[in-house]
Structure 1
Amino acid sequence: MAELRVILPDDVDRYLESLIRTGMFGNKAELARAAIVHFLNTIGPISKGYDTETSFSPDGRIYQLEYARESIQRGRSVVGLVCSDGIVLATENQTDGPDILAVANPCLRKISDNIVIGYSGLAVDAMMVMDRLKPLDLKTEEKIISAIREIYWEHTLKRDTRPLGASLLVATNLSRPRLFEVDPSGIITECFAGAIGSGSDSSKSILVREYKSMAIKQTGKLIAMILGEGKKYSVETLLAE
């Protein structure tokens, strides 16, 4: 067994001596060993190196992915709704100031005439994905999904890169109004209504309860219910072709 030598301040040494006198430990080395083992068990595998790269921990977790999802939970709320006449994405405005100060909301971005993306999480990660998508010839939903998945997988499967800290809602009307939710792991799920960002769990609960087939012009009440009554929000729509 490897030998470990530790230099202790006098006050700590005296405290250890008092614990030994209680009879719980035979000597200071035994006490120090017990303290180190307890500390390592307390911090778990996270600080043992499994959170510094994209790799599985002994309990089957990828901590970098969990951190990526945590950054999304701190991001701006975005909601998407498939409607009878198209699809709508909405998000909170970035400023409550006068309209003269308002700029286009970067959380919603039109990639082409048939694709709109809303994101939550790290802006630089989301912008990188959207910049890589923009020059591509994305004529079908399958090509869109494949391109996005490939970008995300590049950052999930390699040990020397971190997962992207951004989740996406991808709206398209190429064949019909469709909505896809993108997780940092690269998993892409099609849905009729979706929510990402801060409070997404409660937002999805509202959608499960309140969502139904409706026209785009009828979505205002449901959007306000999710993003907050009385708040200003930005909207992007795609009409069914």
Structure 2
Amino acid sequence: MNARTVGKLQSYRFLSQDNWLASFFPETLLYTESTFRHLLHKYRSVIVKPNLGVHGNGVLKISKIMDRYRFQCDDVVKTFSNISLLIDYLQKVTANECYIVQKYIELATINERPFDLRVMVQRKIDHDWEITGQYAKVAKRGLIITNLKSKADVLPVEEVLLTLNVGEGQRRMQALVHSIALRTAQRLGERFTEHHIWGIDIAVDRYGCVWMIEANARPGFRGFQKLKDRSMYRTIMEVKRYNKELES
């Protein structure tokens, strides 16, 4: 099986077999009218996104606020007076693709802008997995997507975590983020033995809890080029060159 063609739901189900990793995932289901109603009733805010989506394309946030329903996709916001109208609209949006629905994580913010973390995990051929880079993706004001394509800003992880004011807890949080990223790559490496790189997206919510969002088999490198310190970018490229030389 090719790691690059595996959907988010398949990855979630596989990784959730690891009980420790499963504790960090938001509840995720295949999108149907029934599962959507269930999770929206349970959490009041959910994310609906394409199973094979990339770059944050097609990510929808739906919330129940009092007796109304709020829909957001990028900077488009719609309000529906009842759930039937909302579902009719969602059926049109999701008609031509497989979608998943999951609990919405209210991300921690910096200057009222949500952020999450990208952790790059690589493996030199015949070596163990290692973390070769990380950065924080800070969404544009008013948007829910922390993707570079949506013009998110890139900041050092340490700088962003300092704003959470968790004191000594910052080191424990960073260690937990790294443990989740490494364990994810190790588990995926058991399934996709020829794949040597994963971009792991990890979130911290407004209460300081850490969540595993998804693993990207084709992670980009532009974020690392945007950092003032280019050492992580050089390390990532060095590992890629090492593997390419051995494979050639």
> Which structure would you say has the larger RCO, counting Cα contacts within 8 Å and 6 or more residues apart?
1
TM-score w.r.t. length of structure 1: 0.25
TM-score (norm 2): 0.24
Q: More strand by proportion, 1 or 2?
A: 2
Which is higher, the Rg of structure 1 or of structure 2? 1
